[in-house]
Amino acid sequence: MFTFSIGDFVCIQNHPYFNKNQKIKIAANAEMTPPIMIVGEVLDKDESNPLNGMRSEIQIRCYYYSTKDGKYIDKWIKAEQLKKLEANETYLNIDGLSKIESFDLEFLKKNYLNNLVCLKSVDFELNKKRIFIDSSDGIRTNKENNHLEFLPPVMTVIDIVKNKDEKKYSATKENFVEKDLSKYMFKCKWYNPKTSSYSEELIPSSILGIVNMYSEKIDDLVNGFGDNNFLIIKQKSKDKFELEDNSEEITKTLLKPTELVFNHYYYNVSSFDFVKQKTTFHPIDDIITNDSPVDYFPKSTIFGNVYPRYKTTFRPIISTIFKDNDYYLIKYKDKSNKITTRIIKVIFQEPYIDQEDGSDQIFLVSNCLLRKGRIRHFSIKHILESTEILNGAKIFEEIN
């Protein structure tokens, strides 16, 4: 059986999620799916029942938010009826409230009053997916949307008080905690759509996370949205890849930001990703931090000459414009006349004879970023447009 501590994520045994797998999609009646809860109190007397000689059951006080009722709910549940879930990725500041037990009230009020907070389980509920069958167009297809039944609100801390209950230790075992709970309670206020008014609640600090706010830097970020500004950000571990037959790794990507999207408690920057060649969403935390400014790169520092050129003299796409180990953004038409755009890193040029007309042609043997760095051959005669990427190795490979 799991050992439970305050702040742990738990659910009852019939929940479809497992300890490490929380991306399971829910079909049938998703309304019967129970909430993800947070441990707010643990009662473990570690003693035997004198009537039957069996060990006393461990009791867990679990918290969750009900959107139907518009309020927080806490339940005492036996530990054996629960399973623990690993913490998932979050943009809350969890560490900010993890060590406040040693602080006094005056310090806490000075530093945390008027902060925004949210239940730590917010990401579980925000990302929970349900599948349903849609036949509105006469064809039965599976579709999915977010199942937001227990999504907790973002709240403002309006007061901090000491918990009226206290942690209790065993009288017979040294340093054994029989009753574990939060030392402080945060009084939080939020807008409640169920009552069309504001609600307030005292909530244990151990089940909350701080919402990161970038109010000053958001203006700088949005003001930089434009045709001539680009961002270079580090890739997440799952998005990094090595170039085939090369020791280098693509650790960063080039973004053209277009708009800011608010997702319940954090901001996403909608951008065109030049490595993936599609629109992607990046949380603002991936782009700016509290101690650094928004770092935009002008178009003139990213892209060089574009070919073919139709100015005073016509400059076609020929082999001499491509250099080994340099990066290029190309528009390419394959044998099926399908046109794609991608970034390539040229390895070398290889001559070949076109079997259709017998002419001498040249392949660019290259690492293709659209294909996770795999080596691909691009015939120069099928390249419709090519743009130099200045300092491509520094943009995509080097870690700042």
CA dist 313 and 384 (Å) reads 18
CA dist 280 and 287 (Å) reads 13
More confident: 19 or 388: 388
Per-residue pLDDT tens digits for 334-379: 988 999 999 999 999 999 998 878 889 999 999 999 999 999 999 9
Among residues 213, 182, 10, the alpha carbon closest in space to that of 98 is found at 182
Q: Which of 152-156, 243-247, 374-378 has the lowest mean pLDDT?
A: 243-247
Among residues 400, 47, 12, 43, the alpha carbon closest in space to that of 235 is found at 400
Q: Which of 65-69, 177-181, 309-313, 337-341 has the lowest mean pLDDT?
A: 309-313
Using alpha carbons only, give the angle 274, 279, 280 rounded to the nearest 5 degrees: 95
What's the confidence (pLDDT) of residue 12? 92
399 falls in which pLDDT band (50, 70, 90)? low
More confident: 239 or 358: 239
Across the range 258-267, mean pLDDT stands at 92
Q: Which of 10-24, 225-239, 337-351 has the lowest mean pLDDT?
A: 10-24
CA dist 254 and 276 (Å) reads 9
SS3 398: coil
313 falls in which pLDDT band (50, 70, 90)? confident
CA dist 116 and 35 (Å) reads 23
311 falls in which pLDDT band (50, 70, 90)? confident
What's the confidence (pLDDT) of residue 289? 62
What's the confidence (pLDDT) of residue 171? 76
Using a CB cutoff of 8 Å and minimum separation of 24, what contacts does 109-115 make? 109/159, 109/160, 112/157, 112/160, 112/186, 112/210, 113/157, 113/158, 113/159, 113/160, 114/156, 114/157, 114/158, 115/156, 115/157, 115/210, 115/211
Residue 113: its H or E element: none
CA dist 324 and 393 (Å) reads 12
Percentage of residues of the chain with pLDDT beyond 70: 94
CB 389 within 8 Å of CB 327: yes
CB 82 within 8 Å of CB 53: no
CA end-to-end span of the chain? 45
pLDDT surpassing 70 at residue 394: yes
290 falls in which pLDDT band (50, 70, 90)? low
DSSP assignment of 93-105, as one string? E-GGGTTGGGS-H
CB 304 within 8 Å of CB 389: yes
CA dist 305 and 320 (Å) reads 13
Cα atoms in the 13 Å half-sphere on the side-chain side of 76:
6
Across the range 21-33, mean pLDDT stands at 79
Question: Quick one: tokens of 66?
Answer: 């009900």
CB 58 within 8 Å of CB 76: no
Across the range 219-225, mean pLDDT stands at 85
Q: How far is CA 296 from CA 221, 240, 338, in A?
A: 9, 22, 33
What's the confidence (pLDDT) of residue 141? 78
Q: What is the largest CA-CA distance in the chain?
A: 100
What's the confidence (pLDDT) of residue 139? 76
Dihedral pair phi/psi, residue 17, rounded to 5°: -75, 150
CA dist 176 and 345 (Å) reads 60
330 Cβ partners below 8 Å, 6+ apart?
A: 341, 342, 343, 344, 378, 383, 384, 385, 386, 387
Percentage of residues of the chain with pLDDT beyond 90: 62
Q: With left for phi above 0 and alpha for psi between -120 and 50, is residue 277 left, alpha or beta? A: left
More confident: 326 or 29: 326
281 Cβ partners below 8 Å, 6+ apart?
A: 261, 268, 269, 270, 271
What's the confidence (pLDDT) of residue 89? 85
What's the confidence (pLDDT) of residue 224? 86
Dihedral pair phi/psi, residue 206, rounded to 5°: -70, -15
Q: What is the chain's mean pLDDT, rounded?
A: 89
146 falls in which pLDDT band (50, 70, 90)? confident
CA dist 63 and 318 (Å) reads 66
Q: Which of 67-71, 288-292, 327-331, 333-337 has the lowest mean pLDDT?
A: 288-292
Residue 314: its H or E element: strand 314-315
